[in-house]
């Protein structure tokens, strides 16, 4: 049952030890048990200047589109819009909001803390793809590293701990609640397929077959 949830216990403990950040969000517990979430770019702004919500599900409206009105299918994209604050009743509501802002992040973090997180290497993820995504497995190691830098390190707030990139490239989380990515996501796989195709076409152009 929810009351005995490891995830919630873990989150409650983290809230008791003071403010922290997760992705682009600052989480600030107050002495009365309420918790405020806001965009880290709004750090110094008076609360009155921000659009305020008390319903944790308001996160859905905030996270759906970026500041330009573009849809955000990848919630880890570092383009969460600013200008809002969530004034929440406690850990349960914080969990609901964070599950919307960064789906599964708390669950993955709790699994990691409990030593239950299974990190899946890219080769395994690509190997099991079928249909049009089968082709993604032919991506070169260098192509995969480049894509990881572009798609994950630059284009996502999560840390791709499944990748072979050196730890120093991935950065550390400091006082942040880590956004761990244990397995390449479907966006990555879709991109990997495109890179693999481009690699194949480049090779075909560079080394044309025997003249007819």
Partner 1 sequence: MNDLARLADSALLLLGHGSTENPDSSAPTLAHADEIRRRGIFAEVQCAFWKEEPGFSISDYLFESETIYAVPNFISEGYFTREVIPRELGLEGPSTRRNGKVIHYCDPVGIHTSMTRLLAGRARELAPDIPVQETALIIVGHGTGLNAKSTEAIRVQVDRLEALGLGYGQILDAYMEEAPFIADWDQLTPLPNVLVVPFFIADGLHSYQDIPVLLGIESAPTAAASQRDVFRQNPVHLRGRSLWYSRSIGTDPSLVDVILDQVHDFQSAAAAA
Among 13, 43, 54, 57, binds partner 1 (CB under 8 A): 57
> Of ligand SF4, partner 1, none, which one sits near residue 151, judging by CB under 5 to 8 A according to partner kind?
ligand SF4
132 binds partner 1 (CB under 8 A): no
Separation CA 84–CA 57 (nearest Å): 13
Q: Which of 66, 87, 92, 183 forms a contact with partner 1 (CB under 8 A)? A: 183
Tokens of 14: 């983290």
The span from the CA of 190 to the CA of 168, in Å, is 26
Q: Among residues 82 and 190, whose Cβ is nearest to partner 1?
A: 190
Q: Does residue number 67 form part of the binding site for partner 1 (CB under 8 A)? A: no
- Strand stretches in 40-146, DSSP E: 51-53, 84-88
With binding defined as CB under 6 A, does residue 151 bind ligand SF4? yes
The answer to whether 179 and 24 are in contact (CB under 8 A) is: no
* Nearer Cβ to partner 1 (27/185): 185
Question: Counting every residue, how long is the chain?
Answer: 212
- The only residue of 5, 28, 40, 173 in contact with partner 1, by rule CB under 8 A: 5
Write the binding mask 97 to 116 for ligand SF4: x where contact by CB under 6 A, - elsewhere: --------------------
CA 196 to chain centre: 24
- Taking alpha carbons only, the member of 190, 188, 167, 179 closest to residue 78 is 179
In the list partner 1, ligand SF4, none, the entry touching 160 (Cβ below 5 to 8 angstroms by class) is ligand SF4
Order of strands, edge to edge, in the sheet holding 84-88?
Answer: 20-22, 25-29, 35-39, 84-88, 51-53
187 contacts ligand SF4 (rule: CB under 6 A): yes
Question: Biggest alpha carbon distance in the chain?
Answer: 81
User: Which residues bind to partner 1, rule: CB under 8 A?
Assistant: 1-2, 4-7, 57, 60, 64, 71, 73-76, 103-104, 107-108, 110-111, 116-117, 120, 125, 128, 130-131, 182-183, 185-187, 190
């Amino acid at each position: 049952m929810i009351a005995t949830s490891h995830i919630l216990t873990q989150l409650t403990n983290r809230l008791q030890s003071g403010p922290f950040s997760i992705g682009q969000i600052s989480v600030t517990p107050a002495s009365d048990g309420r918790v405020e979430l806001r965009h880290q770019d709004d750090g110094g702004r008076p609360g009155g200047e921000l659009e305020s919500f008390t319903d944790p599900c308001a996160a859905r409206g905030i996270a759906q589109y970026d500041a330009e009105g573009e849809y955000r299918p990848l919630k880890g994209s570092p383009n969460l819009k600013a200008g809002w604050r969530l004034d929440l009743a406690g850990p349960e509501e914080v969990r609901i909001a964070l599950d919307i802002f960064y789906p599964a992040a708390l669950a993955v973090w709790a699994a990691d803390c409990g030593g239950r997180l299974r990190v899946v290497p890219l080769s395994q993820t690509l190997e099991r793809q079928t249909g049009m995504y089968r082709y993604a497995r032919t991506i070169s190691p260098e192509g995969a590293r480049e894509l990881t830098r572009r798609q994950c390190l630059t284009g996502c707030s999560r840390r791709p701990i499944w990748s072979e990139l050196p730890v120093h490239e991935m950065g550390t989380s400091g006082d942040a609640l880590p956004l761990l990515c244990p397995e390449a996501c479907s966006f990555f796989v879709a991109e990997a397929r495109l890179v693999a195709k481009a690699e194949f076409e480049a090779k075909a152009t560079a080394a044309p077959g025997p003249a007819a």
